[in-house]
Amino acid sequence: MKIKVQSNIELYVKDIGKGQPILFIHGWPFNHTQYEYQFNRFLELGYRCIAVDMRGAGKSDAPWEALSSKNTLYTYDTFADDIKKVIDDLELKNIILVGFSIGGAMVLHYLAKYSCYQVSKALLLGAAAPLFTKREDFNFPSFDKASVDKLVEDIKYDRPKAVADFANNVFHKEVSLPFRDWIQQMCMSMDANATIKWLISLRDFDLRSDMSKVNVPTAIFHGKNDKICPFELGQTLHKNIKSSKLVIFEESGHGLWHDELEKFNTEFINFIKQ
C-alpha cells in the first residue's frame, strides 16, 4: 500500500498479519525487504509486521533536492514526521518500533520528538546514533566528516562500486554470492539523489540530546565486530537511555540481523515478550 506523508510524497508500506504491530525502519541504502527474515518468523508467532520504504528508498517516492542546496527533505525531522504519519494513518497503538543503522537513528529521533507516541517498546539495531561522524568531544564513530564526503563523491561518479564497497563491510561472516547480489540490488534500488542526501543527514546530525527523552523499554542490539557503527555506540546508547538493555552479538558485524540470524530473532522475541 501507499501512504501519503506530504502532498507530493507517498511511502510504500508492507503491512501483513494481525496482532501487536511491529514497525520496521530499514538502514541505508536498503529498503523494507531487509527484514524478510524477521517477517517470516514473527508472522507465524501472531504479530502484525509492518515495514516502510522511507522516502527515497525502495518503492517510495523520492523528492528531488539539489545536492548543492541545504538538506531539507531528508532530515531526521522529516523522517520522524513520516513515521508518525504512517502510525496515524494505520491507527497503530502499542507499537514495537524497530530501526537498523540510520533507521535506528530515525527511531531514536522519533521517540524524542514525539514523546514515544504510541510506542510500547523500541529496538535499536546497530544504530548509527547518537552520532555517525567524529566530533572533538565524541571520538567513537568509524567515520569522520571527510570520509563521508569522499563517499558522497564516490557515489556521484560510480554509485554501484561505492555501495558495493560499503556492503562488503556490513557482514562479519561470509555470505553467499547470490545473497551479496541481493544486497547490491537492494542498495541500488535507492534513488541516487536520496542516497547522497541520507548520507548528509548521517554526517551532520547530532542526536545526543535525544537519548534522555526515551522513556519506553529499549533493546540495543549491537555487533562486537561492527566496522560501520562501532560497538561503543551501542554502549553509549545503553548508558544514556533509561530502561535500556544491551544485547551483545559477539560474532556479528553491522549486519547482525543476518550474521547471527537465529540469535537475533530469539533475542528479539524474548525482548518483546517480556
For residue 237, the Cα-to-chain-centroid distance in whole angstroms is: 15
Does a cis peptide bond (omega within 30 degrees of 0) precede residue 130?
A: yes
Catalytic residues: 101, 226, 254
Contacts of 216 (CB under 8 A, 6+ apart): 111, 116, 119, 120, 121, 122, 243
| Cell 525482548, residue located | 271
Cell triple for residue 24?
520496521
Buried b (16+ CB within 10 A) or exposed e, 134-156: beeeeebbbbeeeebeebbeebe
DSSP state of 13: E
Cell triple for residue 170?
556490513
Phi-psi region of 66 (alpha: psi -120 to 50; beta: other; left: phi over 0): beta
- Say how far apart CA 46 and CA 130 lie, in whole Å: 33
DSSP string of 121-162?
EEEEES---S-SB-BTTB---SB-HHHHHHHHHHHHHHHHHH
Are 127 and 211 spatial neighbours (Cβ–Cβ below 8 Å)? no
DSSP state of 211: G
Among residues 141, 80, 145, 132, the alpha carbon closest in space to that of 106 is found at 80
